[in-house]
Amino acid sequence: MKVAIVTGASKGIGRACAIKLAQDGMTVVVNYSRSDAEAEAVVEQIRAAGGEAMAYRADVSDPAQVKEMFRVVSKTYGQIDVLVNNAGIVRDEYLMMMNNDNLDKCLDLNVKGYFYCAQQAATKMFRRRQGVIINMSSVSSVMALAGQSVYSATKGAVNSMTQTMAKELAPYGIRVNAVAPGFIMTEMVEQLPEEKKEEYLKNIPMQRFGNTEEVAGLVSMLCSDACSYMTGQVLVLDGGLAL
Ligand code: NAP
């Protein structure tokens, strides 16, 4: 049975990915940093459907916690086949208002966190000459949204990292791709002011926000043999927003 680690899987897109990969027959590690009850609920939902999952609390912006998580998962399940690098935060602020604390938090989780997890995953996958890494990017990496100079920079970094990692790891049977969602209905989008949501909606040709299952469906496909020759790509999933 394949083993997947999904970071930030207690809520939102990560939660949907964890449930979908479990439906695909994988054992899933539900990583999260604070929301114990929500993470346990995801595990219970997977087990109730006959799947196998464990919750693992670790702040993925901390390299020591990441290393320990991968050590424990490898020891428990013997292998790691899939990493979904998903845990991310948004701290929207206009350039002149942005403070260094939020700048550091975004860089630490959205860039360094992805790097720490990918590095650990690659070390484990390399030995077995197989594996899939999916990095959750954002449409903000390919189009400019006012107030997102830091967030978009982190997601641009995710895209570049995806390409370089893909090139380095391809000879070892490890594929690395990124998914760049547009506006998906999660806490991240729900917390936006109503007028902002309406403004964004006007610019989406499909005239609706996406849902988490739609992102999970693409992640599932990228993990499957249907995409066995695809690596280093950034797939935009945004209802046409960036067109
Ligand atoms: P969300 O609903 O806010 O969920 C974030 C998840 O990340 C939670 O499970 C949270 O768990 C976890 N998390 C936060 N900090 C963490 C840390 N330091 N270590 C480990 N886990 C941590 O977010 P989302 O909207 O699903 O977004 C998920 C990803 O998709 C992000 O990378 C985001 O940039 C990207 N994305 C989202 C959208 C969108 O419209 N929603 C669009 C484009 C891209 P705890 O509560 O336990 O901390």
Pocket of ligand 1, beta carbon within 6 A:
7-14, 31-35, 59-61, 86-89, 109, 136, 138, 181, 183-184, 186-189
**pLDDT at position 54, please?**
98
Q: Which CATH class is domain 3-237?
A: alpha beta
H and E: helices and strands count for the chain: 9, 7
Residue 178: pLDDT over 90 = yes
The crossing angle, in degrees rounded to 10, of helices 63-77 and 114-128 is: 30
* Distance of CA 59 from the midpoint of ligand 1 (Å): 12
Atom of ligand 1 nearest to the CA of 155: 34
Report the pLDDT value the prediction gives residue 219, as an integer from 0 to 100.
99
Residue range 128-157, pLDDT digits in tens: 999 999 999 999 999 999 999 999 999 999
The backbone torsions φ and ψ at residue 160, rounded to the nearest 5 degrees and listed phi first, read: -65, -40
pLDDT of residue 90: 93
pLDDT score recorded for residue 193: 87
Averaged pLDDT for residues 228-238: 98
Pocket probe for ligand 1: among 30, 57, 89, 200, the residue whose CB has the most ligand atoms within 8 Å is: 89
C-alpha 23 to ligand 1 mean position (Å) = 21
pLDDT tens-digit readout, 33-90: 999 999 999 999 999 999 999 999 999 999 999 999 999 999 999 999 999 999 999 9
Which pLDDT score, from 0 to 100, does residue 190 have?
86
For residues 138 and 235, the answer to whether their CB atoms sit within 8 Å is: no
Taking alpha carbons only, the member of 88, 4, 74 closest to residue 46 is 4
Active site residues: 151
Q: 186 C-alpha vs ligand 1 centroid, how far in Å?
A: 9
* Domain residue limits, the chain: 3-237
DSSP string, 92-146: ---TTT--HHHHHHHIIIIIIIHHHHHHHHHHHHHHHT-EEEEEE--GGGTS--T
pLDDT digit string, tens, across residues 97-131 = 999 999 999 999 999 999 999 999 999 999 999 99
Identify the bridge partners of residue 174 per DSSP, sorted by sequence position: 131
Distance 171 CA to ligand 1 centre (A): 31
d(CA 195, CA 124): 46
pLDDT at 114: 99
Mutational test site, ligand 1, from 5, 6, 7, 11, max ligand atoms within 8 Å of CB: 11
In the prediction, which pLDDT does 208 show? Answer: 95
Instruction: Output the six-digit token pair for 18.
Output: 């964890």
Q: For tokens 């988490």, name the residue.
A: 212
For the segment 182-219, what is each residue's pLDDT rounded down to a tens digit?
999 998 788 888 998 998 899 999 999 999 999 999 99
